[in-house]
Each structure stands twice: as structure tokens, then as C-alpha cells.
Structure 1
């Protein structure tokens, strides 16, 4: 009894469409991976080589023929035998197809046959490369989204704001932290950058290289509605006159440097 023989069916008369559908299902299908169809060009497989591979897979699956002759393949593709031989040789040379030995359990014998393992090894390499590119693209998108999120939280500075950042970094001799940048932006939203520079200058004069002390100076000015350097200087002088109970000698006052006077005034104003 030949187990490989095809089943024949007697069709009902009068319905060609249903007969076709029945025959379509009974003869089965050849499964071709979409990854292979999508990337065979990238694998160096030509169109005719791909078509021959499809026929080899079909014959292997449907007819259980592991090693079809070139004549059989030529008939399937309506092509010359010499062309089929060249295409087969090309696939083997490219390490897409191989010839190996199979054990035929039904006939209990060793037979030769085409081996598709090299083909699917190549497909797996293409898949791996595509997956790496996909992951890299995903990572890049995530990084861009993260950068955009940072930009939304800390808007791109204008020229004046950028110069202000640079001034602080020069005085502090280090890069600013995100919290410090946010603090400067808050100050700029509330007052003129010239006053912020003045507050920084006064803090540096006293050796106070920290934002907390600068903020205390700015808060004092805001509390007293001081919005210009002239108003601040007048406030300092008047405040010093009211607070100053110490009598300086005329000679001491004359020999005291202007920076020393200013430092003493700031100390009495903001360090009391």
C-alpha cells in the first residue's frame, strides 16, 4: 500500500466554484515566512532564486520529495534546465541552500535532499539585525522624549538668561544644578536681571557662594519694593544711617576703602 499516493475525489456536478474550493483546501498550502519574503533581497537572493526556493519548499511539503530533479523544477517554473542548474548552484554557493543526508523512515534508507537550514539561519540573522535596529530606534525615541520633557520643565534660555547662567557658573566655578537653574528662572520672572547680578555680587563680596543667601537679599528687596539699583542704594544708605550706632573717627573713615565700606554696610543689612 502506497501511503504517499494522492486521494482522488468524485466531485458533485454543477458547482465548479465549490469544487475548486474543495480542491484548494485538499491540496494544502505552502507556508512562507513573511520575514523571508520581506528581506530576501537583503540576503542577496534574486527574484528567480526566491521563486525556486518557494517551489522547493512546496515540493518538500506537498510531495514529500526532498531532492526533486532539475527537470521537475524546470517544469514547475516553465524554465530551461540549464537555468535551474545555475540557480541551484548559486543558492548553494551563497550558503542559502545545502545538500544533506536524510533518513527515510518509511523505506528505512538514507537519501539525499535539499537542506533549508542555511536559509533559515540567514533569515534569523536578518531578524536579529532588524530587531537591534528596532530597539535602537525605540531607545532613541525614548531619549528624545526624555530630552523634550526636560526642555518642557526647563525652557530653552534666551540670550540674557544664558548670560546670567554663565555669570553664576563663573562666580561659583562649577556648572549649575537643575534646581539652581530653576531658581534663577524664578528670579528673572520676578525682577530685572541687573538686580540679580547685583545680589550675586554682594553675596560674593561677603564670601557667601550659595543660592540661599542670594535669595535672602532678593527677598529683602522685593519686600521693600526696590526695583532699581538707585532705589536699592538709597535704601542701603538710609538703613545704615538708622542702624549705625557706632561712631567712626574721621581719619578711620577716610582711610577705609570703598569696598570695605560697602562690605560693612551689606553685613549690617543682611547678616544681622
Structure 2
């Protein structure tokens, strides 16, 4: 007749391989499963690190030893803490309604007994999980919507730039020029492309190569907005004014450029900062 043994079972064998015995006990003693989501969010419900370890021991007592209401003295045997502190920590968990003390019914022995109840803990954890999941779903919806709208927004952006260029150039753009505008639109804000066009027109430079040189200069200096362009212009003028003061002594007029190459270079730079 098969017997049910609820206590600890020890093998009756004098020839013991300690390593093998350890491996056997490691498996047969069982495991205490702790939900990962509990380990991730326990601090959000007001559980300290020490209290988390205490909860793990309470769960272990419940699962492994079928001890539903371990005393502070029993807990002190497996934790490096005094029973008095453990009693305070247990009371704190009860006060914060993280655990509760409830009555349980043993169907086999038909008895009612008292034990720690973990339902309040998992109720709080489920609320946090629900909030996290709701936020993730909302973020995923926004991402999907942005991906759905992105092609239309990009097409409208390119169309607006093409219309602007054709108006300033006074002619339809070629396919190559349209492709160039698409590349600019993909790498820069439309307002920057229009500003580069404006500077080119004011400088009498109606060509894409010149406009591209302006945008490349801004990109190289990490300029992404019109405000950044204006600040860059101000900094440029300050640097140029300071350079002139250093080059010219009191009452002196700065010397003219010595070569046509330098003159052309400076003229080009000036057009970038009209």
C-alpha cells in the first residue's frame, strides 16, 4: 500500500556520494517560483528590498513547508535579522495592505487555520501591470498611426517644396531636381530647405548646387531649426567682427584681400549669412 509522506525524506544508505546527494537534494527540495513582474515593480507598491526578501521567504514557507503562518522566530532562522525587526516588517506589510491574515480551510483534514494571504500583493501588482500594458498599447497605437501617416506627410512636404522652387525658378523642375528635393526633405526640415532657397535667390544663385552647399554647411554644424540658423548667423558675424578688430590696429583700416581666390571664398561665405 502506497503511503503519503509529508515530512522530509532521507535516503537510508551508508554509502553516500556527497556531490550526488547534493544534486539530488537540490532537485528534490523543489523550487520557489517568484514572478518576474513582481521583482520588477515591487518598489512601486512600497515594498523595500528587505521586505521583498521577507516576502520570498513567506512564499517559500507556504510552498515548500506548507507553513502558512510562520512566526518571526521561524523566519529569523533563515534570515539574518532579529525576530523583533521581522515582526515590525510583517506588521508594516499588513498596514500597507500588501499582505493580509486570512482563514483557510484544509479540505483533507477538514480544519480551518490562519495564514498569510498574498492576494492583496498580487492585486496591487496586477494594477501596475494593467497600467503598464495600457501605456504600451497606447504607445504602439501612436507608433502605428505615425507610420501610417508618415508617407502622406512626406509626400505633402515634398509637393510643397516643389511648388515653392518652381515659383522661384519660374519653370517646372526636372526629374533630377525633384529627386534632389526629396533627398533634402528626407534629411532636413522643410523650413530649412526654403530658407536655403531664399538665400540663394537673394544672392542671385538660382542653382541646386549652391542651395545644397548651404544645407550641407548647416548639417555639418548640426543646425536643424531656423532659430539655430539665426544663432549661427549671429555667432558668425561676431567672429568676423572680432577678427577685423584683431587684424586692424587703432585708427587703421583692414587691408584688402591679397588674392581673387580669397575674395571669392569670402563672398561665398557672406551669401550663406544674408
Q: Give the TM-score band, short-chain normalised.
A: 0.5 to 0.7
Task: Normalising by structure 2, report the TM-score.
Answer: 0.56
Once the two structures are superposed, the pairs formed by residues 53-132 of structure 1 within 5 Å of their partners are 53-132=55-134
Shift of 1:45: 0.8
Distance (whole Å) between structure 2 residues aligned to residue 188 and residue 17 of structure 1:
85
Q: 1:104 to 1:163 in 2, by over 3 A?
A: farther
Once the two structures are superposed, the pairs formed by residues 131-142 of structure 1 within 5 Å of their partners are 131-142=133-144
Q: Deviations over 1:210-269 (max 9, x none)?
A: xxxxxxxxxxxxxxxxxxxxxxxxxxxxxxxxxxxxxxxxxxxxxxxxxxxxxxxxxxxx
SS, match of residue 44 in structure 2: coil
Distance (whole Å) between structure 1 residues aligned to residue 100 and residue 135 of structure 2:
29
Paired residues in the alignment total: 169
1:5 aligns with 2:7: yes
Shift of 1:30: 0.4
Once the two structures are superposed, the pairs formed by residues 153-192 of structure 1 within 5 Å of their partners are 153-156=155-158, 157-158=160-161, 161=164, 188-189=172-173
Distance (whole Å) between structure 1 residues aligned to residue 109 and residue 137 of structure 2:
49
RMSD over equivalenced CA pairs, Å: 2.7
> 1:199 is matched with which residue?
none
Shift of 1:76: 1.3
SS, match of residue 123 in structure 2: helix
Once the two structures are superposed, the pairs formed by residues 138-149 of structure 1 within 5 Å of their partners are 138-149=140-151
Distance (whole Å) between structure 2 residues aligned to residue 2 and residue 85 of structure 1:
34
Indicate if the aligned counterparts of 2:162 and 2:173 stay in contact, CA closer than 8 A. Answer: no
Q: 1:51 to 1:163 in 2, by over 3 A?
A: farther
Unpaired runs of 5+ in structure 1? 165-186, 191-272
Q: 1:138 to 1:76 in 2, by over 3 A?
A: same
Unpaired runs of 5+ in structure 2? 175-274
Q: Deviations over 1:21-60 (max 9, x none)?
A: 1111100000100000111111211101110100000000
Indicate if the aligned counterparts of 1:12 and 1:19 stay in contact, CA closer than 8 A. Answer: no
Indicate if the aligned counterparts of 1:11 and 1:19 stay in contact, CA closer than 8 A. Answer: no
Indicate if the aligned counterparts of 1:32 and 1:54 stay in contact, CA closer than 8 A. Answer: yes
1:152 aligns with 2:163: no
Shift of 1:163: 11
